[in-house]
Structure 1
Amino acid sequence: MSIFTRSFDPITGCSIWEEKHPDYDHHQEVARSAFADMLHDHERNEKYFVALKQAIEKVHSKGKKANVLDIGTGTGLLSMMAAKSGADSVTACEAFTPMAECAFEIIQKNGFESKVKLVQKRSTEMTVGENGDMKTRANILITEVFDTELIGEGALSTFKHAQQFLLEEDRIVIPNKGTVWIQVVESKTIQAWQKINEIRDPESEKVLISPPIAMNQCHGSSAVHDLQLSQMPYDSFTFLSNPVIMFNFDWSGKEPLIFNENVTKSTKAIASGTAQAIFMWWSLIMDPDNKVNLSCAPVWQHPDALLSETKDVESMFNAADRIPWRDHWMQAIYYLPNEIKVDKDQEIGLVACHDEYSFWFKVEPDPTQKVEYPRSPVCDCSVHLALSRSRIGQLNDKEKQAKYLKVLKKYITPDTVCFCFSDNSLIGLSVSNLGAKKTIILEPNNLSCRALQSFITANQLTDKVQIVQKVEDLPKNMKVNLVFGEPYYVNSIFPWDNLRFLYLSQKYAPGIPTVPMGGSIRGVAVEFKDLHKIRTPLGICEGFDMSCFDKLLLDSSKISDNPVEVHPLWEYPAKALTSIFDLAYFDFRNEFDETQEIKFKGNTPIFGAGSLNGLALWIDWHLDIETTVSTGPLTQVIPGERITWDKNTRQGVFLFRKIKNVTCQNAIDWSLTFNLKKDRIFEFNFNVKKS
């Protein structure tokens, strides 16, 4: 029997009921668990395996039995490694029911059911004793409970509880230690994700919009900004310090784990500049002898990068190809509460704090002074709550601003009345200072409305700008001359969800000129270097058969996932296998029929040879006949070469279930169906064939 779920239609803005598989929630949870990505990390697996073998040998050399506890076993991989390495007993715990059931099947399939006991509980619920989950305490703990922030998944409490209640006093813990590194940087590119700059008329340089003072003095969002730092262009930031170790965590318990900690360290600035942000990463010492190191460092600090002294953009990208790829453990950016100017060779103070789950940082210009430890970042201005970091980046994109303003100026007169159909749009406010008589902005989101109002007040636009939160409240008797949008909507997921602009302009302002005047869905076939691994079957992983897990993920994904997902592709290297091709064009000047099913289909040739594992999809907005703003590649796409993507938008990605080796003898047949009445509004199909 089917179930019905309530969801949001991104085009119409209405709530809709969708018929789903009866176990939809279960399958969605499994599909989103992302275990596969981690299991493709060969270095991680290998170093856990090596450390396990050493630990078991060390325990046996003392004449003791090796009793292993695996917390958060997932697929059971680490437990099977322990059993294969000669452990006398292995207890695995896994609280996530679908994963626990899958782990039991995998352990059985690989012949370890008599050696591994699976407990479906959280480790903090486990008991020890004759009738407990473990008869005796374990003397070896193996676990992987880390995230990009190292402690964000509750590692501190997990290890502390295990030390107190589940492990012997003389124990070996894998990993043995964790180290947190930071580096101070200056970067306009990075700061553009945190603070909103002035918007200026590209011709006269007149300031059109200034940010509220409170916004640029705000600490910003408390959510960690995790990303693939190795993919940041090396010329987009300047190091102001060398890497510094700020925290050490002894997972074995020989030194106590502290849940709330403040640390200050002094370091010498290696360049002059403005301290704006902190880069953070961590590493693990896997064994008690400190010989097995697993590093999550970015390319310039990674021990496997083999970088020469010359660190230009090209050499950095090439070196990044040599280090392990991880999407489960990335690096992080922390924005400093106050920008501090520093001089080369100046001694500066690095202030670091953490609670049970997160870190925050500060830079002091004089480390000899008494330190006031900063509070955990909290947004005081509403803007960082309403706007994502990528949206702030979009609002700071001067090239796109200039294109919009140049086109809009062609329409603006002292009598112009405008509708702005775009969420948290500062272009909408800029139009008023270009000379428009009145701008009515549709802003349904309460947080966005509050943030936008702060800009209106700061720029004294109360008489020229009106915010409307419901489409029903749009003025009906007002003569409107222009409708514009960027387009951007808070609830949009896929690039084409922003075609809501077409729906709104046609439904509530038919026949009125629009900017943009049209939109094109475009694509390119690619060979991803790594991204495809998040959906690639494991098969045999480190000598263990994982086909049960592959089937579970595939079945769940078919039931719960859209075939197209979204990713910020600038973080994921890919080379083009085709030229850019157009899948669909929507002319906003033509009447829009929301009941009509529109079908597009075509064929695009493949140029050269490669491993076809995905297609990248995005939308280009045509402001007028001459001006286009793209949400995809920033430079010309040349088959066989790496693609450079817009950093402030996420692109659609279609990943092939079966990776195909292709040549110029192949082509891709594709089709796209657009129908508002269906559960899946945009349906894409791609097939590889001989040309």
Structure 2
Amino acid sequence: MPSLPSTLTLQHLTRLSLTTTTTTPTFLHRTTSKAHDALRAMSSVPPHRMFQLRLDPLTGNSEWVVLEEEDEDPQNPTKALLSSTSYLDMLNDSRRNTAFHEAIKKTLTRPCHVLDIGAGTGLLSMMAAKAMDSTHTMENNGGEGMVSACESYLPMFKLMRKVIRANRMEKKIRVFCKRSDELKIGLDLPSRADILVSEILDSELLGEGLIPTLQHAHDELLVANPQTVPYRATIYSQLVECTYLRKLHDLHGSEAHASDCVLLTPSGLETAICVKVQQHAMHCDALSAETKLLSEPFKIFEFDFWKRPDSRGETELQVKATSDGIVHAVVSWWVLQLDCDGAIFYSTAPKWISSPLTEAPDWCDHWKQCVWFIPGMGMPVSRGEQVSLEALHSETSVSYNLRNANKRLEVDPRLYNSEHHLILLPERIAIYGDREWRNAMLKATRSALEGKSSPLCIVADDSVFLTILIACLTSSTSSHVISMFPGLREKGHMYLQAVADANGFSMDRVEVIGRKTCLTLDDTNQRKVDLLVGEPFYHGNEGMLPWQNLRFWKERTKLDSVLSEDALIMPCKGILKACAMSLPDLWKSRNCLSGIEGFDHSVVNETFGACGDLPELKVGPCLPYFIWQCGESKELSEVFTVMEFNFQEHIRACYGKTKSQFDSVLQIGFTKPGVCHGFALWIDWVMDAKNSIVVSTGPDSRYWKQGVKLLSKPVPVGPLGLCDLGESCLVDISASFDSSAGELIIDSTFSSL
């Protein structure tokens, strides 16, 4: 068959958005726009700007980019702001779209005033406009039928206008780039709305500000006894045992089995490193084989959208244990009733929950289940035992406390809010508690320090583990450790002070730099550095693409002037690995949009970073995912090396495996038949010069995200010699790394020979 070219451009910018107009919490719908219709034109609100913080992943430096409301320049650097969000996945959720559409058509039986809060692309607004259009001719300026849509996030608001124009509905929907709590009756809206349609739900249900938004809407924007879509939401929970979930938060328990000298959470400071006290969203279906259910599902809270909700609530239940075990977590999900008759539902329940009310869920990434970790080692229970569960909800979150006849487990916020406590992501907690990882670091560090009686060492990243390990292994009073801690900064210093005595080292031998990005000999008292180390780990950058941890290479280059001639670098190199993958669920969720329930959304594809079914010469971005949580997946090739990064040298451009611009093509054969949707990419860190200690961040290591690059179109493949007609058996890979921009480019060409 003919070759199928596919150019893969792997680039990522992390951005943080703020506005110039308010400091109100971001879960409310924020004003960032001037007038767009006759009523708004009566006010003198000036144009607003949004500032986007653009981060250079290789240096950690950032700059503010100004995004103007009226800026439609296709070359604007903020064009791909939304590519790493879950909007595309959400809009590809056909079960969600159909449920909302059916409920809106069922609810809107007459012309009325409809308000859409958090309108996104305007999909629900267009559904409402079309539903009313079928019953009565709508007039936008004074008629009975009217749709008002507010969206506070400026890039999304601009996109919504494009979508509405593409569907020729700009005269039927009045749009406001405002928070809902800034809409005014008589200024923005001519009257209170009869019907509210809104989808401001996250995996926890409340995290996007559902309660305060509904409260304000009922107080100021809606008629008495309004109709709403959705009608009601109910949160359900279940007690589970799962060792993997325990490892994601119980570092103190994991350290009890460690064989090294490091105590990250010594006795009396068990929560010195901990996860944030909240529910954590994750795909629990991926853990079903290692999860033991210890109770039946039980209802926690119910929220009616058609009436004003309370800011806080609590409930206490007696939950019967259905098996012997240890409760490690409470898994929760919600069920949405979209119509008042109770005929249309949507559920985020895991697949082990079956219900006659909802269809079996498809994999999607925008709504997951939530996990509440039970403190410490968990709560042992016996079959038939009654467990008292207390659930509390605030305006934006749900929390739990458990007790039985023998034990009470509740979270004391004071134990987690001390100034010396470090809040890390669950996966980082699990890495620090992993015996194999710790042994690899111990072995590599001991080897690097061998023969050095009083070394000067620099920890280039945010690794508190390596800082403590080196301080413990270098007992000489003249040895010294300098920790850069570019992300942890002063918090890292206070943490080290708190655990120093328990680990047997003096803070006189440890220095934290924090904000300084480059060192000179003046900073080292004219001493040359003997050892430069990193995991690498940069606090706050955990969600970035794997190769963006090559920031370590950049830092090593900047520190070259203070390194001794025989300085050891650990890790000594990084190896970019890849594997061809079948990822049908992920590919479906990132596929290009065309019509959603009959509404054209093709104009959003480039902005959202759509990958599948792209026009010719268009490529989607590479995005970070936990492969093991991406639904159905299958490796179609052996793992292969794309290129190597030698940290003994200064950072430089790299080309494929051979480092030659003219001879950098790798030819990879497929080992299994299937449909190739793209490639998973990651870095293996070689910690020693003998290549004997390697820390892999690939799909088999569930604590790290991989980079996923989806093809423009899926390609049927098969092993060489066993390919059917129309299948490819080989793929040619060429690669280059731009060290100045941190950009990785991969070209792939499939062939049958």
How far the C-alpha of 1:660 sits from its partner, in A, is 4.4
1:265 aligns with 2:330: no
Maintained 8 Å contact 1:142/1:175: yes
Q: Give me the identity figure in percent.
A: 26
Q: How far off its partner does 1:539 sit?
A: 0.8
Match of 2:683 in 1: 619
Counterpart Cα distance in 1 of 2:51 and 2:733: 31
Q: Which of these residues, 399, 403, 410, is aligned with residue 440 of structure 2?
A: 403
1:93 has 2:93 as partner: no
Which residue does the alignment assign to 1:455? 499
- In the other structure, the counterpart of 2:17 is none
Q: Equivalent residue for 1:350?
A: 389
1:665: how far off?
2.8
Q: Larger relative contact order (C-alpha < 8 A, sep ≥ 6)?
A: 2
Partner Cα separation in structure 2 for residue 190 and residue 424 of structure 1: 23
Per-residue Cα deviation, 1:148-186 (whole angstroms, up to 9, x for no partner): 121111111222333334334343211111111222333
Equivalent residue in structure 2 for 1:328, among 355, 362, 366 = 366
> Which sits farther off after the overlay, 179-188 or 471-480?
471-480
CA displacement at 1:616 relative to structure 2? 1.4
Distance in 1, matches of 2:538 and 2:162, equals 44
**Does structure 1 residue 299 correspond to structure 2 residue 351?**
yes
Write the letter of the residue equivalent to 1:295.
S
Matching residue of 2:167: 110
User: Counterpart amino acid of 1:619?
Assistant: I
Q: TM-score, with normalisation over the residues of structure 2?
A: 0.75
Please say if 1:188 is aligned against 2:243: yes
Q: In the alignment, which of 63, 69, 72 is matched to residue 115 of structure 2?
A: 69
The structure-2 alpha-carbon separation of the partners of 1:278 and 1:611, relative to structure 1 and needing over 3 Å to count, comes to same
Superposition pairs of residues 235-314 of structure 1, within 5 angstroms: 235=290, 237-253=291-307, 256-303=308-355
- Alignment partners' CA distance in 2, 1:621 and 1:466: 26
Aligned partner of 2:639 among 564, 570, 580: 580
Q: Which of 534, 550, 562 lines up with 1:485 in the alignment?
A: 534
How far, CA to CA, are the matches of 1:103 and 1:502 in structure 2?
Answer: 41
* Cα distance change of structure 1 residues 546 and 280 upon mapping to structure 2, 3 Å threshold: same
The alpha-carbon deviation at position 296 of structure 1 amounts to 0.4
Task: Decide whether the 8 Å contact of 2:251 with 2:429 is kept in 1.
Answer: yes
Partner of 2:628: 570
Q: 1:467 to 1:98 in 2, by over 3 A?
A: closer
Q: Please state whether the residue corresponding to 2:351 is helix, strand or coil.
A: coil
Q: Aligned-pair RMSD on alpha carbons?
A: 4.0
| Paired amino acid for 2:490 | N
Cα distance change of structure 1 residues 164 and 210 upon mapping to structure 2, 3 Å threshold: closer
Kept in 2: contact 1:613–1:660 (CA 8 A) = yes
Aligned partner letter, 1:238: K
Q: Deviations over 1:533-566 (max 9, x none)?
A: 45421111122222223355469999xx994332
Partners in 1 of 2:111 and 2:53 — Cα distance? Answer: 54
Alignment partner, residue 313 of structure 1: none
Bigger Cα displacement from structure 2, 470-479 vs 574-583: 470-479
Q: 2:215 aligns with which of 132, 148, 160?
A: 160
Deviating more after overlay: 174-183 vs 495-504: 495-504
Shift of 1:285: 1.1
Tell me what 2:579 maps to.
Answer: 524
- Corresponding position: 1:389 with 2:426: yes
Give the 3 Å change call, closer, same or farther, for CA 409–258 of structure 1 in structure 2.
same
Instruction: Tell me if the contact between 1:280 and 1:333 (Cα under 8 Å) persists in the aligned partners.
Output: yes
* Whole-angstrom distance in 2 between the partners of 1:433 and 1:197: 19
Q: CA deviation at 1:251?
A: 1.0
Listed one character per residue, the Cα deviations across residues 552-582 of structure 1 (whole Å, up to 9, x for unaligned) are 5469999xx9943322222114322332221
Structure 2 distance, partners of 1:118, 1:555, is 25
How many angstroms apart in 1 are the aligned matches of 2:474 and 2:300?
53
Aligned position for 2:511: 467
For the 8 Å contact 1:674–1:682, the answer to whether it is kept is: yes
| 1:120–1:353 CA distance, 2 compared to 1 (3 A) | same
Q: Distance in 2 between matches of 1:565 and 1:611?
A: 20
Do the aligned partners of 1:302 and 1:323 also contact (CA within 8 Å) in 2? no
Choose which of 341, 344, 363 in structure 1 pairs with 2:402: 363
User: Please, what TM-score do these two structures have when normalized by structure 1?
Assistant: 0.81
Find 2:711's aligned residue among 653, 656, 672: 656
CA distance in 2 between partners of 1:298 and 1:439 (Å)? 51
2: CA distance, partners of 1:4 / 1:675 = 27
Confirm or deny: 8 A CA contact 1:137 1:166 kept in the other structure: yes
Mean Cα deviation higher: 535-544 or 13-22: 13-22
Question: Contact 1:182–1:243 (CA<8 Å) still a contact in 2?
Answer: yes
Relative distance call for 1:110 and 1:519 in structure 2 (3 A) is: closer
CA distance in 1, matches of 2:190, 2:729: 58
CA distance in 2, matches of 1:173, 1:19: 37
Shift of 1:93: 0.8
Partner of 1:246, secondary structure, is strand
* In structure 1, C-alpha distance between the alignment counterparts of 2:269 and 2:338, rounded to whole Å: 43
Structure 1 residues 659 and 378, CA gap change in structure 2 (3 angstroms)? farther
Does 2:133 align with 1:133? Answer: no
1:629 maps onto 2:694 in alignment: yes
Residue in structure 2 matched with residue 496 of structure 1 by the alignment: 547
Letter matched to residue 150 of structure 1: L
Q: Aligned with 2:79: secondary structure?
A: helix
Secondary structure of the structure 1 residue equivalent to 2:497:
helix
* Residue type at the aligned position of 2:89: D
Change (3 A) 1:418 1:332: farther
SS of the residue aligned with 2:567? coil
**C-alpha contact (below 8 Å) 1:269/1:346 kept by paired residues:** yes
Q: Indicate the larger mover: 454-463 or 323-332.
A: 454-463
SS of alignment partner, residue 574 of structure 2: strand
Structure 1 contact 198–209 (Cα < 8 Å) conserved: no
Q: Distance in 1 between matches of 2:609 and 2:545?
A: 22
Equivalent residues of 2:240, 2:295 under 8 A apart: yes
Secondary structure at 2:605 match in 1: helix
Q: Closer, same or farther in 2 for the Cα pair 1:231/1:199, shift >3 Å? A: closer
Matched length: 646
1:538 to 570, 586, 593: 593
Corresponding letter in the other structure for 1:490:
H
| Unaligned runs of at least 5 residues, structure 1 | 307-319, 634-643
- Map residues 205-244 of structure 1 onto 2, 5 A cutoff: 205=259, 208-209=262-263, 211-217=265-271, 220-222=275-277, 224-235=279-290, 237-244=291-298
Shift of residue 426, structure 1, vs aligned partner: 1.7
Aligned partners of 1:564 and 1:654 also within 8 Å: yes
Deviations 1:371-399 (A, max 9, x none): 99967688324576453322222111211
Instruction: Choose which of 147, 161, 180 in structure 1 pairs with 2:202.
Output: 147
Aligned AA (1:451) = Y
- How many angstroms apart in 2 are the aligned matches of 1:544 and 1:302? 31
- In structure 1, the residue matched to 2:604 is 549
Matched, 1:440 2:501: no
Once the two structures are superposed, residues 32-89 of structure 1 have per-residue CA deviations (whole angstroms, 9 ceiling, x without a partner) of: 5542221111111111122222223xxx4xxx64543332322222233233333542
Q: Relative to structure 1, is the Cα distance of residues 393 and 568 closer, same or farther in structure 2, using a 3 angstrom cutoff? A: same
